[in-house]
């Protein structure tokens, strides 16, 4: 029996580097040799009056050997699970069948012993000092199994949980048997930079149904990811962004005009969502959605958001995705949403578009790509445009208005700046003044700092045979997943101080401008040194897989905020408790938000 190398015990990650067919062949070979080895090792003959209690007389070594098999191959395929967890103990049962009067008793005993030994040895290994992540602190529940995080995250508050863990344990926390969360700037580049790690197995669970063609965001092979990202990069170049001004301007006009007509309190968060969805449909498919006019009559927003909690659970336990896709009826909302987008993509391709939208670049209408993406790839990226571009921007804009209404000084300052650059009659959809509008940019960045829509960041994985990676002072061994926890990083007083948990846009201004406004010590009470470390500001992630839509997102947010502030006055609706905002904000990888009831009135100068 050849010695089996000991790897980390996580059962869920496939080895990215090893071809599947070779995996299965060597798994089978090892399985057979282990079975032969096991049958020699089992105590024989076993006493005939064998009971569950007698299990302790049986040598548990064979099951431990199968645990090593799990560790080595980390099978994610249901067939491998059946082979290892059902067929092996069934075969062992068969070996002793002739010596026992009752097949049920020996089967029960073999299965019990086999599974409990695997379980105990896996748990013991994960908690042992021999585990590669043993030196990193973290709660026992996290170190034992990712099912714990799946459970915690189902309530939508994983960002707060990670935040508390970092407060308790420090900059690096072991949040899974095989996963680390970082809260320091030194880890950003080694994990996500140009020589960083590829995307983690998180996406195998999240996009489990995409077995053949994956959306770009879920591609774990860096070379393939780079190939697919090329048309996206052209679609977000400065020239392309200039071309989107008209598409954006029309939607923003429609949005603000619709708001002006509202006599009753409205849920501003919902209106903003409808606006971002319509705008993203314009960008991705040249139109096809008019929620601002019709409301969400097809329940599309519900389809988009209802799958998020389940998707988050699958990101924690990716192998569950293999079972999930086989279950009839499960995830039907997500499937409906995807087919809705696929139809739009086909229509856009056949009908063409009057303007150069994002799809123009994605389907390479200009014919400049040497290996243009296939239509299936583009259709899948069309879905991505909507998912990645609408919820994120909607959450940031909603948080921004919540923060402005909770901080009247900031509200007044922003309004004064908007009035200076876009007085009544000036077209607020023009982007000409955006670079000079320091307070506008400060308000947007402060909202992204406090409420980054991808609250917990994006996972990376050190593949097997990669040799691992040094992230700052900490080593990330191969086979380990890791991420920088954005919510904790953005609220760390070493990087943003004073008042790291407070909405304070003035921190983004130059020192002279801040002093002119009486900060940082306007009350003479706050003696905390001022810190503002831009390297720790990563709401759009970092490196070659960061948010490709970042510039569009800024352009969209600046334009819509300018026009809203130019034409409307806002206030919280009576009875609204501002504390609800943070409570209702849920981390389902992309954040979801609660209601934002506001009263609106057209500004006197615009009437």
Q: What backbone phi and psi angles, to 5 degrees, belong to 449? A: -70, -50
Q: Is 383 in contact with 342 (CB distance < 8 Å)?
A: yes
Handedness of CA 192, 198, 201, 203 (dihedral sign): positive
Alpha-carbon distance of 56 to 52, in angstroms, equals 8
Beta-carbon contacts of 587 under 8 Å, excluding residues fewer than 6 positions away, are 153, 156, 157, 158, 159, 160, 312, 455, 456, 487
Q: Which CB, 69 or 454, lies closer to ligand HEM?
A: 454
Q: Which CB, 126 or 159, lies closer to ligand HEM?
A: 159
Specify the residue for token string 């695997």. Answer: 118
Specify the residue for token string 């990669």. Answer: 466
| Neighbouring C-alpha atoms within 13 Å toward the C-beta of 567 | 21
Report the nearest approach of ligand HEM to the CB of residue 162 (Å).
15
As given in the structure block, the two tokens for residue 44 are 């024989």
Report the nearest approach of ligand HEM to the CB of residue 458 (Å).
3
Q: Is 286 in contact with 363 (CB distance < 8 Å)?
A: no
> Nearest CA to 243 among 366, 392, 109, 103?
366
Q: Which CB, 38 or 153, lies closer to ligand HEM?
A: 153
Alpha-carbon distance of 572 to 266, in angstroms, equals 10
Alpha-carbon distance of 100 to 48, in angstroms, equals 6
Helix (H) / strand (E) element for 26: namely helix 20-41
Q: Which CB, 38 or 458, lies closer to ligand HEM?
A: 458
Report the nearest approach of ligand HEM to the CB of residue 238 (Å).
15
> Nearest CA to 390 among 539, 272, 293?
272
Q: Which CB, 396 or 429, lies closer to ligand HEM?
A: 396
As given in the structure block, the two tokens for residue 63 are 């099951």
Report the nearest approach of ligand HEM to the CB of residue 74 (Å).
23
Report the nearest approach of ligand HEM to the CB of residue 600 (Å).
23
Specify the residue for token string 């809705």. Answer: 340
Alpha-carbon distance of 286 to 289, in angstroms, equals 9
Q: Is 70 in contact with 117 (CB distance < 8 Å)?
A: no
Handedness of CA 440, 507, 593, 583 (dihedral sign): negative
Q: Which CB, 84 or 561, lies closer to ligand HEM?
A: 561
Report the nearest approach of ligand HEM to the CB of residue 67 (Å).
33
The residues binding ligand HEM (CB under 6 A) are 216-217, 229, 232, 384-385, 388-389, 392-393, 396, 452-454, 458, 539-541, 545-549, 552-553
Cis peptide before 520 (omega within 30 of 0): yes
Residue with nearest beta carbon to ligand HEM: 549
Report the nearest approach of ligand HEM to the CB of residue 548 (Å).
5
Residue 55 annotated as lining a ligand binding site: no
Q: Which CB, 125 or 542, lies closer to ligand HEM?
A: 542
Q: Which CB, 122 or 219, lies closer to ligand HEM?
A: 219
Q: Which CB, 267 or 546, lies closer to ligand HEM?
A: 546
C-beta contacts of 171-175 below 8 A and 24+ residues apart: 172/136, 172/137, 172/474, 173/136, 173/137, 173/138, 173/142, 174/133, 174/136, 174/137, 174/138, 174/142, 174/143, 175/138, 175/142, 175/149
Report the nearest approach of ligand HEM to the CB of residue 464 (Å).
21
Report the nearest approach of ligand HEM to the CB of residue 204 (Å).
14
Q: Which CB, 126 or 460, lies closer to ligand HEM?
A: 460
Report the nearest approach of ligand HEM to the CB of residue 231 (Å).
11
Q: Which CB, 256 or 384, lies closer to ligand HEM?
A: 384
Cis peptide before 52 (omega within 30 of 0): no
Specify the residue for token string 């905390």. Answer: 528
Report the nearest approach of ligand HEM to the CB of residue 554 (Å).
8
Q: Is 440 in contact with 562 (CB distance < 8 Å)?
A: yes
Q: Which residues are annotated as a binding site for heme?
A: 547
């Amino acid at each position: 029996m050849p010695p089996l190398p000991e790897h980390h015990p996580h059962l869920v990650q496939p080895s990215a580097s090893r071809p599947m067919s070779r995996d299965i062949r060597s798994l089978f070979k090892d399985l057979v040799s282990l079975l032969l080895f096991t049958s020699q090792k089992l105590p024989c003959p076993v006493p005939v009056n064998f009971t569950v209690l007698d299990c302790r007389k049986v040598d548990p070594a064979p099951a431990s050997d199968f645990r090593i098999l799990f560790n080595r191959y980390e099978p994610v395929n249901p067939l491998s699970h059946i082979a290892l967890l059902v067929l092996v103990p069934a075969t062992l049962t068969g070996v002793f069948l002739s010596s026992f009067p009752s097949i049920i008793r020996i089967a029960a005993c073999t299965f019990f012993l086999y599974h409990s030994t695997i379980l105990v040895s896996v748990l013991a290994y994960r908690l042992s000092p021999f585990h590669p992540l043993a030196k990193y602190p973290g709660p026992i529940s996290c170190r034992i199994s990712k099912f714990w995080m799946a459970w915690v995250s189902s309530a939508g508050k994983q960002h707060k949980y990670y935040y508390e863990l970092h407060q308790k344990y420090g900059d690096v926390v072991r949040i899974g048997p095989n996963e680390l969360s970082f809260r320091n700037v030194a880890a950003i580049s080694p994990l996500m930079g140009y020589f960083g790690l590829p995307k983690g197995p998180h996406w195998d669970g999240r996009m489990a149904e995409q077995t053949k063609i994956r959306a770009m965001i879920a591609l774990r092979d860096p070379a393939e990811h780079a190939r697919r990202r090329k048309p996206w990069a052209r679609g977000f170049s400065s020239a392309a962004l200039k071309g989107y001004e008209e598409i954006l301007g029309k939607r923003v006009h429609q949005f603000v005009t619709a708001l002006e007509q509202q006599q009753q309190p409205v849920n501003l968060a919902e209106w903003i969502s409808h606006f971002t969805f319509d705008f993203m449909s314009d960008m991705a498919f040249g139109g096809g959605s008019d929620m601002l006019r019709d409301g969400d009559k097809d329940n599309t927003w519900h389809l988009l958001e209802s799958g998020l909690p389940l998707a988050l659970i699958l990101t924690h336990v990716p192998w569950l995705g293999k079972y999930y896709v086989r279950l009839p009826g499960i995830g039907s909302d997500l499937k409906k949403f995807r087919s809705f987008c696929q139809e739009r993509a086909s229509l856009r391709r056949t009908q063409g578009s009057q303007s150069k939208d994002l799809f123009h670049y994605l389907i390479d209408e200009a014919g400049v790509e040497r290996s243009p993406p296939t239509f299936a790839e583009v259709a899948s990226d069309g879905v991505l445009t909507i998912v990645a571009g609408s919820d994120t921007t909607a959450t940031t804009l909603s948080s921004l208005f919540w923060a402005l209404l909770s901080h009247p000084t900031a509200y007044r300052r922003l309004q004064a700046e908007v009035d200076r650059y876009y007085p009544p009659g000036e077209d607020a959809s023009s982007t000409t003044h955006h670079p000079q509008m320091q307070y506008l940019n400060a308000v947007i960045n402060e909202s992204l700092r406090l409420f980054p829509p991808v609250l917990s960041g994006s996972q990376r994985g050190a593949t097997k045979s990669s040799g691992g990676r040094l992230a700052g002072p900490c080593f990330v061994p191969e086979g380990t997943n890791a991420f920088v926890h954005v919510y904790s990083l953005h609220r760390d007083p070493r990087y943003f101080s004073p008042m790291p948990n407070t909405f304070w846009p003035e921190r983004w201004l130059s020192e002279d401008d801040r002093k002119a406004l009486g900060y940082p010590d306007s009350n003479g009470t706050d003696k905390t040194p001022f810190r503002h470390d831009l390297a720790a500001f990563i709401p759009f992630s970092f490196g070659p897989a960061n948010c490709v839509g970042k510039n569009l997102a800024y352009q969209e947010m600046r334009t819509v905020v300018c026009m809203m502030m130019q034409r409307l006055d806002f206030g919280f609706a009576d009875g609204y408790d501002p504390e609800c905002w943070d409570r209702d904000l849920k981390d389902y990888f992309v954040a979801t938000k609660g209601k934002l009831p506001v009263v609106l009135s057209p500004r006197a100068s615009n009437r």
